[in-house]
Amino acid sequence: MKRRQPARIDKSNPDQPMVIFNNFGALLGDLKDFKDGERVWIEIETYYRKRTLSQNNLLHFYCDEIAQETGMEMLAVKEQMAKKYLTVEVVDKNGNIVADPETGEVMTRVKSTSELDTVEFGSFVDKIWLWANDFLNLQLPQPDPNHKSDKNFKLKLK
């Protein structure tokens, strides 16, 4: 059985090394890897796990319902929704926006739904639900509002 490391230092970007930890004690231990007098930047973010299977199932259910309403293929609906709501600017490893050197146009890409965490995915699905309601007058069932965890996503049909 592989034991998870409680913390690790990510020095893949020498300009911005990061300590990734699961507990505070591990953070203190890993800080010893930095030299005395070395300046460090510590960024603390909330970690959300990747989208859940039930969230993905809900997305496919919504896209299938929209496909039936519009006559499109389900995967084409999913692609169009991703293009509409998951298009982001391309950034380099330093966080700078990348532009086409010839035209100066900002480069974009469509994020894959598998890249999304539970919160981002929930927002994406909410936007699809609102779009279907507003533009197609399609009443898709809403997820159960009493379910508060981001670990699972339950569909409550009314």
Tens-digit pLDDT string for the chain (158 aa)? 344 455 566 666 666 666 666 666 666 676 777 778 877 776 666 667 888 888 899 999 999 999 999 999 999 999 999 999 999 999 888 888 988 889 989 999 999 999 998 889 999 999 999 999 999 999 998 765 554 444 344 444 43
Q: Are 111 and 86 in contact (CB under 8 A)?
A: yes
Please tell me the pTM assigned to this model. Answer: 0.64
pLDDT at 152: 42
Q: Is the dihedral angle over the CA atoms 76, 82, 88, 94 positive or is it negative?
A: negative
Query: Quick count: other Cβ atoms within 10 Å of Cβ 3?
Result: 5
Q: Are 154 and 54 in contact (CB under 8 A)?
A: yes
pLDDT at 142: 79
Distance CA 62, CA 117 (A): 19
What Rg, from alpha-carbon coordinates, does the chain have? Answer: 21
- Alpha helix positions (H), the chain: 24-30, 53-70, 74-85, 118-136
Dihedral of CA atoms 18, 49, 79, 62 in degrees, nearest 10, equals: -160
